């Protein structure tokens, strides 16, 4: 973005576009990203991006895909660590919510309707999201075996519901409905309690 060559051929427009787009949506939100502004910032004509991305939707899918890849890496690291303790799970929940907060626009692309309903998810994106979810379910399985998450159902089902809960919380924190910082942290604490298997041992 900073290095703008004045050659006819840009060099590596594809990644340049992705980087700039990522920056724009981070700072101004996805609704303020236009292909034309993006092209302008990268220093190229309006339609140049269309030789690297079929359309705007495809570009957004690419952005979302990066997010999934990153999340999958985090999950796999946790799973290989083989530390399925409650503390470990708590750390992940906090990490998940922090990611959602600090990359709220990417998060919205990953799970929001912009791509999944209004747009059309790329095959590549669908695959990435599926892979990430699989990594999540794997970790949930470990957490069940570690006695952190309930064993009352399959890893898939427990994974779906606890993730839905986490996702719901993330959305509320992100979408501008809950802004009070105190509420946010206490909601998170309570949510963890809701998700985890209660320790029923008497004191």
Partner DNA sequence: AAAACTATCTTGACAGTGTCAAAATTGCAC
Partner DNA sequence: GTGCAATTTTGACACTGTCAAGATAGTTTT
* Interface with DNA (CB under 7 A): 7-11, 13, 33-37, 39, 44-48, 50-52, 55-57
Write out the two tokens for 43: 């220093």
Structure tokens at 51: 């030789």
Q: Per rule CB under 8 A, is residue 203 in the interface with its own copies?
A: no
Q: Which of 2, 5, 7, 31 binds its own copies (CB under 8 A)?
A: 31
DSSP secondary structure letters along 25-83: HHHH-GGG--HHHHHHHHTS-TTGGGGTSSSHHHHHHHHHHHHHHHHHHHHHHHHHHT-
Stretch that binds its own copies, among 58-66, 76-84, 93-101, 188-196 (CB under 8 A): 188-196
Contacts (CB under 8 A) with its own copies, residues 97-156 = 108, 111-113, 116-118, 129, 150, 152-153
Q: Which does 126 bind (CB under 5 to 8 A by kind): its own copies, DNA, none?
A: none
Among the candidate windows 3-11, 67-75, 137-145, 167-175, which touches its own copies by CB under 8 A?
Answer: 167-175
Which residues form the interface with its own copies (CB under 8 A)?
A: 29, 31, 108, 111-113, 116-118, 129, 150, 152-153, 157-158, 160-172, 174-178, 183, 186-187, 190-191, 193-195, 200
């Amino acid at each position: 973005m900073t290095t703008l060559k004045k050659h006819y051929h840009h060099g590596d427009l594809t990644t340049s576009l992705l980087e700039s787009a990522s920056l724009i949506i981070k700072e101004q939100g996805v609704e303020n990203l236009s292909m034309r502004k993006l092209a302008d910032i990268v220093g190229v004509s309006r339609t140049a991006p269309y030789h690297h991305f079929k359309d705007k939707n495809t570009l957004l899918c690419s952005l979302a895909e990066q997010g999934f890849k990153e999340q999958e890496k985090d999950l796999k690291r946790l799973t290989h660590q083989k530390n399925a303790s409650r503390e470990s799970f708590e750390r992940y929940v906090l990490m998940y919510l922090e990611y959602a907060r600090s990359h709220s626009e990417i998060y919205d692309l990953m799970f929001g309707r912009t791509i999944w309903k209004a747009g059309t998810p790329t095959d590549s994106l669908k695959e990435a999201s599926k892979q990430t979810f699989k990594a999540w379910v794997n970790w949930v399985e470990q957490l069940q075996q570690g006695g952190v998450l309930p064993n009352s159902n399959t890893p898939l089902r427990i994974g779906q519901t606890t993730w839905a809960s986490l996702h719901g919380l993330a959305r509320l924190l992100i979408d501008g409905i809950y802004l009070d910082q105190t509420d946010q942290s206490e909601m998170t604490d309570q949510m963890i309690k809701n998700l985890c298997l209660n320790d029923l041992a008497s004191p």
